[in-house]
C-alpha cells in the first residue's frame, strides 16, 4: 500500500485522538462542577457518574486509536521494526511542519516526510573509541 495513503489515515486517526482528548478535558470540567446535585430533595451523583463513565469510554477509544495508528505505522514502506519504534500519534504541529520523527528509545533514528511518504533514516556517525592519556605531562 502507498505510504501517502497510510499516512493520511494515520493523520485522520490522530485528529480523532485529539478531539477525544479535548472531549475528556471538557467532561472532566463537567465532572468537577457537578460533585453533588439535589434532585427532588435527594442528593444525586448521576451527572458526575455519567461524566466519569464517558471519560472512561473516551480513554478506551483513544487507546484503540493509538494502537491503530501504531499498527498502520508498521505497514509503511521503509519502516524497520528492529531499528525504530512505531509512532502512535501525529500532532497538528507535525502536520504543519510536514515531518514526524521516529525514535528508538529516546533517540531519533528516522524522519517521515508527510508530503512524500518517504522514511529518511538519520545516520549518526559512529564515534571512534579513543584512549585518552590522563597521565600528567612531564616537562624536562
Tell me, what's the pLDDT at 125?
Answer: 55
- How many angstroms separate the Cα of 124 from the Cα of each of 5, 86, 103, 118? 30, 20, 13, 19
Please identify every stretch of the chain with a pLDDT value under 50, giving residue numbers as ranges.
127-135, 140
Beta bridge mates, 111: 101, 120
Tell me, what's the pLDDT at 43?
Answer: 74
Tell me, what's the pLDDT at 114?
Answer: 96
Residue with cell 479535548: 22
Tell me, what's the pLDDT at 137?
Answer: 52
Residues 13/65, Cβ–Cβ less than 8 Å: yes
Beta bridge mates, 107: 104
Amino acid at each position: 500500500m502507498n505510504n501517502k495513503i497510510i499516512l493520511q489515515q494515520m493523520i485522520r486517526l490522530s485528529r480523532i485522538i485529539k478531539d477525544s482528548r479535548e472531549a475528556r478535558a471538557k467532561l472532566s470540567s463537567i465532572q468537577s462542577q457537578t460533585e453533588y446535585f439535589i434532585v427532588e430533595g435527594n442528593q444525586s451523583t448521576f451527572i458526575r457518574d455519567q461524566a466519569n463513565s464517558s471519560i472512561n469510554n473516551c480513554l478506551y477509544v483513544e487507546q484503540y486509536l493509538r494502537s491503530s495508528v501504531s499498527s498502520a505505522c508498521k505497514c509503511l514502506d521503509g519502516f524497520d521494526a528492529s531499528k525504530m519504534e512505531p509512532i502512535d500519534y501525529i500532532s497538528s504541529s507535525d502536520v504543519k511542519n510536514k515531518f514526524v520523527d521516529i525514535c528508538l528509545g529516546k533517540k531519533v533514528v528516522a524522519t517521515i516526510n508527510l508530503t512524500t511518504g518517504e522514511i529518511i533514516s538519520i545516520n549518526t556517525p559512529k564515534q571512534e573509541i579513543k584512549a585518552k592519556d590522563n597521565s600528567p605531562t612531564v616537562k624536562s
